[in-house]
Amino acid sequence: MFQSFQIQAPQSALDVNLQHKIDTKTKPPGSLGSLEHIAFQLGRIQGKTTPDVSSAKMIVFAADHGVVDQGISLFPQEVTPQMVMNFLMGGAAVSVFCQQHNVPLRVVDVGVKVDLDDHPLLAKRKVAYASQDFSRTAAMTPEQVAKALQAGVEEVDQAIAEGCQLLMFGEMGIGNTCVSSCMMSALLGDDATLTTGRGTGLDEHGVSHKANIIQQALLRAEQDTGQLMVDWSPQTLAEQVGGFEILAMAGAMLQAAKCQTAFVVDGFICSVALLFAHKVAPLVKEYAIFAHQSNEQAHQRLLDYLNVEPILSLDLRLGEGSGAILSYPLIQSACVFMAQMASFESAGVSDQT
């Protein structure tokens, strides 16, 4: 049975006070642009006019995917555990950026194809040794769907119990751009040619092949379920074409929203996790801050569908949560100006007439 997430809308009682505080800082109204929107959103979520994100955490979920057997990635599957170890040893992009901004990093194995050695930064929540090849059969069982979602839930519960005020999510898994494109097609009804991009650097032939595999997977799943993909429930979609790390991220987002805690959405793959979570409980989006628009071709379409504006556009396509951690200083700045910037009254500066 698919887990239920009861999410409340962020508080509105302070809306007038929040907007007044933002507008009476020593600046023209709206002149801090997106920082003002972020400050207002965080204030509503946290229920205070001086929001705080000084305690943040990055959680990266990792898993492998059976569809890699269809040649949809330039990189072999053994890169997944190799990169996980790189995260843990501090050598990956997300690792060095987390170190730069003093944000704790946690890596969660929800489906890497091999057993990983113990490490202080590693959480072992393996659902299975990779999902199944969804071009041939369902990606996972109902029990595996529940376990993947629960991995995200429990990681968020632990982080919030530790005092975390802002969660950031990332992912690692060779083939997960293909899985994300397939999930997006199923969620929005888009043709695979519109949701499939270059991933880790495929050429035009590689992109075409990946789109064909996705289309094959969706047709197979429709035949097996006896339902058109636009009619699938979240449970059916997850079983047929999901990925363990994507579902774990979705579970984490849903639980963060349930606990009224803001979280940062990284790039394309993380945004697909949010899109899935949005299908489960639409109010989850109210707790999401979108880090950046990635280089993956379908990401802009997805952001437009969700009607959201990301903070950055740096032509990134790395994943890992790299865009999320790069956006963190700006999110901090939104809180700093609320807490420390003078008002017209306190600074003795004449306001507009």
Q: Where are the alpha helices (DSSP H) in the chain?
A: 15-23, 34-46, 79-88, 93-100, 142-161, 176-188, 192-195, 204-225, 234-241, 244-258, 268-280, 299-306, 322-340, 344-347
Residue 239: C-alpha distances to residues 144, 211, 247, 253 (Å): 8, 20, 10, 19
User: Whole-angstrom Cα distance, residue 69 to residue 91?
Assistant: 28
Contact 234, 279 (CB under 8 A): yes
CA 96 to chain centre: 19
Rg for the chain, CA atoms, rounded: 20
**Cα atoms in the 13 Å half-sphere on the side-chain side of 15:** 4
Is residue 320 annotated as part of the catalytic site, yes or no? yes
249: nearest Cα among 232, 233, 272: 272
238: nearest Cα among 284, 275, 283, 196: 275
| 3-state DSSP percent of the chain in helix, strand and coil, to 5 | 50, 10, 40
Q: Which of 171, 245, 320, 345 is catalytic?
A: 320
Contact 175, 64 (CB under 8 A): yes
Phi and psi for 343 in degrees, rounded to 5? Answer: -95, 165
Sort strands 166-172 and 56-63 into parallel, antiparallel or unpaired: parallel
- The residues carrying an active-site annotation are 320
